[in-house]
């Protein structure tokens, strides 16, 4: 047993002393997002656009994203920037019409600095309107024209054929892999589609720890968390098969990585867990304060027992060319 109802309050107090949230404002941002996530319906009860709307709620804390990105860099065995790895060797100097699908605040687009001409128009599409000013700031920073479309991914069905020379999509295609034919339709014949996704077992150690706690509390009756189902929709293991009908040339780049937290870095580990928790606890009805206290204690126990904590963090990059134009329905 991880803990019982009889000592929950004691653990909460103890956790408050031992687990320090190292980034100012991080706790409130994670709490606000989790309050939203706790009300989400289960995935099977939502249509595609509603799924995206609800899941997008966890991604609006830009400062928390940036701080967590720094935490990941600090604890990664692979210090290479995955965006640089994705774009390495690509000649993008002739790309003038670019789409960043599920752009967020412009994480992937920022890597286009000095790679595309100043005459380029960079379009960001994301259903979170709050990202608009941040994305346009990125466009100005990399010295290209920019526009932002606040809409669900279904909006791409309204965009004209062969609208773009380059399409980017990082850590989002597992939400909507069914759009692959549209990506081929939107690209010029000599265009390029670059996407970054997770390996199916990404963060398996954190998922296992979460499931330990949830099962002990009797609130998890399934083998996998909802987020595991989502990531498995488009991942390193099946991404090529999903894309092959729509692109004749696909290059695969494996990005191997492990996050290592030493035994005395449990505060960093818990901060990372907190940031991710609204995402991988979506659709699960729970008391956040009590459950997060149990998570904190469990992670600390695991870290002490294992003399640290390692997280499998492999990702994969697909660079796709020669789009296959989908046949029109009669």
What's the CATH code of the domain at 182?
3.40.50.150
Q: In this structure, is residue 181 part of a structural domain? A: yes
- Residue of 128 and 188 predicted with greater confidence: 188
- The helix or strand, by DSSP H or E, that contains position 216, with its residue range, turns out to be helix 204-216
Domain with 106, as residue range(s), is: 77-200+235-258+312-324
Three-state secondary structure string covering 14-46? HHHHHCCCCCCCHHHHHHHHHHHHCCCCCHHHC
- Give the pLDDT band (50/70/90) at residue 4: very low
pLDDT at 130: 87
Does the structure show a pLDDT above 50 at 36?
A: no
Q: Please tell me the total count of domains within the chain.
A: 1
Taking the CB of residue 105, how many other CB atoms lie within 10 A of it? 23
pLDDT digits (tens, 9 = 90+) for 201-216: 999 999 999 999 888 8
Q: Among 3-12, 35-44, 58-67, 121-130, name the most confident range.
A: 121-130
The pLDDT tens digits for 288-325 are: 778 888 899 999 999 999 999 999 999 999 999 999 98
Mean per-residue pLDDT for 90-106?
96
In this prediction, residue 217 has a pLDDT band, given cuts at 50, 70 and 90, of: confident
Residue 53 pLDDT class (50, 70, 90 cuts) = very low
Query: 245 lies in a domain?
Result: yes
Q: Is residue 157 part of a domain?
A: yes
Please state, in angstroms and as integers, the Cα–Cα distance from residue 191 to each residue in 118, 258, 287, 326, following that order: 18, 33, 48, 15
268 within domain boundaries: no
Q: What pLDDT score was predicted for residue 284?
A: 67
Q: Is 134 part of any domain?
A: yes
- pLDDT given for residue 328 in this prediction: 62
- Evaluate if residue 22 carries a pLDDT over 70: no
Q: Is residue 46 part of a domain?
A: no
pLDDT tens digits, residue range 126-157? 998 989 999 999 999 999 999 999 999 999 99
The Cα 39–Cα 22 span in angstroms is 27
241 inside domain: yes
pLDDT of residue 16: 33
Compute the average pLDDT of residues 181-206: 96
Asked whether residue 15 is domain-assigned, the answer is no
More confident residue, 90 or 226: 90
């Amino acid at each position: 047993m991880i803990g019982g109802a009889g000592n929950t309050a004691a653990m909460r107090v103890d956790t408050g002393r031992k687990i320090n949230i190292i980034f100012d404002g991080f706790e409130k941002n994670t709490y606000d997002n989790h309050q939203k996530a706790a009300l989400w319906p289960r995935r099977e009860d939502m249509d595609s656009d509603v799924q995206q709307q609800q899941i997008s709620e966890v991604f609006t804390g830009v400062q928390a994203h940036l701080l967590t990105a720094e935490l990941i860099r600090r604890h990664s065995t692979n210090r290479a920037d995955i965006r640089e790895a994705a774009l390495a060797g690509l000649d993008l100097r002739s790309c003038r019409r670019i789409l960043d699908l599920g752009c967020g605040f412009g994480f992937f687009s920022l890597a286009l600095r000095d790679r595309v001409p100043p005459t380029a128009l960079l379009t960001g599409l994301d259903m979170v309107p709050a990202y608009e000013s941040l994305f346009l700031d990125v466009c100005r920073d990399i010295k290209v024209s920019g526009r932002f479309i606040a809409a669900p991914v279904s909006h791409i069905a309204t965009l004209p054929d062969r609208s773009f020379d380059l399409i980017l999509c990082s850590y989002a295609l597992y939400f909507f892999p069914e759009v692959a034919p549209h990506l081929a339709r939107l690209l010029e014949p000599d265009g390029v589609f670059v996407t970054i996704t997770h390996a199916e077992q990404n963060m398996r150690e954190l998922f296992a720890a979460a499931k330990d706690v949830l099962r002990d509390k009797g609130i998890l009756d399934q083998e996998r968390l909802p987020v595991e189902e989502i990531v498995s929709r488009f991942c390193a293991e099946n991404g090529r098969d999903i894309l092959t009908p729509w692109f004749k040339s696909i290059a695969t780049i494996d990005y191997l990585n492990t996050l290592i937290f030493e035994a005395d870095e449990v505060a960093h580990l818990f901060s990372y867990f907190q940031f991710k928790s609204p995402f991988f606890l979506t659709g699960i009805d729970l008391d956040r304060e009590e459950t997060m206290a149990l998570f904190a204690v469990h992670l600390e126990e695991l870290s002490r027992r294992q003399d640290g904590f390692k997280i499998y963090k492999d990702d994969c990059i697909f660079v796709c060319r020669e789009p296959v134009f989908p046949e029109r329905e009669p």
